[in-house]
């Protein structure tokens, strides 16, 4: 016998969870989350701002791709690779945004169909 009861193990796990929860709460209250978790300096929980920023980035990429294609058509640039790269970046970002929208709609429908 080790002398450690199952209750002690459960209490140790509970204390570890509470410590991690407190650390996450501290980070959320200070708003200092780095890296990919806080794009463009948005605070945690700023989902609307993050979504709006992502849509603006997609719009910007599509605008740049359109400008690059128009410049190529006018003969102002001869770098077809840069034009095609801009078009592909815009296409991929739009498709990713579309998939996020589809997942959000699916989640909304699932939540709305739940019985109360």
Interatomic CA distance for residues 85 and 111, integer angstroms: 39
Task: Answer for the pair 66, 50: CB distance below 8 angstroms, yes or no.
Answer: no
pLDDT at residue 65 above 60?
Answer: yes
pLDDT, tens only, 3-41: 666 677 777 777 777 777 777 777 767 655 444 444 454
Q: What is the dihedral of CA 99, 105, 110, 113, to 10 degrees?
A: -160
pTM over 0.75: no
Q: How confident is the model at residue 43 (pLDDT cuts 50, 70, 90)?
A: low
Q: Is the pLDDT of residue 85 over 80?
A: yes
């Amino acid at each position: 016998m080790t002398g450690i009861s199952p209750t002690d193990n459960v209490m140790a796990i509970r204390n570890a969870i509470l410590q991690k929860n407190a650390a996450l709460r501290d980070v959320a209250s200070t708003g200092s989350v780095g890296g990919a978790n806080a794009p463009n300096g948005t605070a945690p929980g700023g989902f609307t701002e993050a979504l709006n920023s992502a849509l603006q980035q997609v719009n910007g990429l599509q605008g740049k791709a359109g400008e690059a294609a128009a410049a190529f058509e006018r003969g102002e640039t001869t770098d077809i690779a840069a034009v095609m790269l801009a078009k592909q970046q815009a296409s991929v970002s739009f498709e990713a945004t579309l998939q996020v929208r589809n997942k959000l709609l699916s989640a909304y429908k699932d939540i709305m169909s739940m019985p109360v």
